[in-house]
Structure 1
Amino acid sequence: MVKVHKDLIVYQKAFSAAMEIFHLSKKFPAEEKYSLTDQIRRSSRSVNANITEAWRKRRYEKSFINKLNDADGEAAETQNWLDFALACGYLDEKVYLDLYKKYDEVLGMLVSMTINSEKWTFSENKKLK
């Protein structure tokens, strides 16, 4: 049973991927510090921040869905920055494909939660399932 946002598998997968990006991005060139490095770290971490906010807003289904949509957008943005990191030669293809796949899984889980939001939300008139 999910009691806190950290119990969500989607949160755990996104956190793990974000930490992997953090460690890999330490090896990016110094000239990328204020562009690619900051962007990919920010977007990857924002996935988790938005999942956390969604969990706290699950009393209001539309707010819950909105924050999941924000997490979805940040996950897709992270994939965009992964594309650039590969094209610039900062990641090898195997690492890139592994991370890209992890974000595909996160995206799929976020879409599923959005489509089935009534299973995750509650109100004064409806108990949490």
Structure 2
Amino acid sequence: MPTHRDLKVWQLSNALAVRIHELTRGVSVESGADLVDQVRRASLSIGANVAEGRGLRTNAQFRRHLDISLGSAAETDAHLAALLDRDALSARDVFDLRDQLATIQRMLVALRNSLPAADRPPTRASAASRPPTPAEAATAPPQPTPPRASAAPRSPRR
């Protein structure tokens, strides 16, 4: 059975987290050691949520974790910007990391959009606007039939 390790997006997000860890090893306290911990955690969270979601039972749960991964990717990007602003990382390194991050984000969105929506519970709007399923129709109380509109008497023409 395929696991999260078989997903290209997980492989790329894991490689990104490793690369961020390598590039932030020498960051000094003055230039952003507090951000180093944050960017490392956020980048690890991208792949970790893909893995967790892949291990759950439904597509809806997997979609939710892919959304969380997208949030972690955005957080990673924000921390990279802060590290660049503090001159803790070079512009070239941040550009390369952001390029990898953008690829991962596109892949997360594509994966989320490719999941079948069959296990998604209907929303109120969609349930109200669709005809009842046979099971719903069988268990629904009988609806009164509306009275027929009778033809109103016409007034004579003059």
**Segment of structure 1 superposing worse, 110-119 or 68-77:** 110-119
Query: Helix, strand or coil: the match of 1:18?
Result: helix
Q: Amino acid of the residue matched to residue 43 of structure 1?
A: A
Q: Deviations over 1:17-62 (max 9, x none)?
A: 10010011111113533x20110010000111100011112x3121
Identify the residue that residue 42 of structure 1 maps to in structure 2: 41
2: CA distance, partners of 1:114 / 1:3: 17
Is residue 2:56 matched to residue 1:26? Answer: no
State the distance in 1 between where 2:41 and 2:103 align: 19
CA distance in 2 between partners of 1:118 and 1:109 (Å): 16
> 1:84 and 1:30 mapped to 2: Cα distance?
14
Per-residue deviation, residues 53-102 of structure 1 (Å, max 9, x unmatched): 11112x31211110000011001110111101111111111111110010
CA–CA distance in structure 1, aligned partners of residues 2 and 112 of structure 2: 19
Which of residues 51, 60, 63 is equivalent to 1:62?
60
What amino acid maps onto 2:84 in structure 1?
A: L
Q: Which residue of 2 aligns with 1:98?
A: 96
Runs of 4 or more consecutive aligned structure 1 residues displaced over 4 Å after TM superposition: none
Q: Secondary structure at the match of 1:89?
A: coil
- Structure 1 alignment gaps of length 5 or more: 123-129
- Find the counterpart in structure 2 of residue 79 from structure 1: 77
Q: Offset at 1:3?
A: 1.4
| Corresponding residue for residue 13 of structure 2 | 14
Q: Aligned partners of 2:92, 2:116: CA distance in 1, in Å?
A: 38
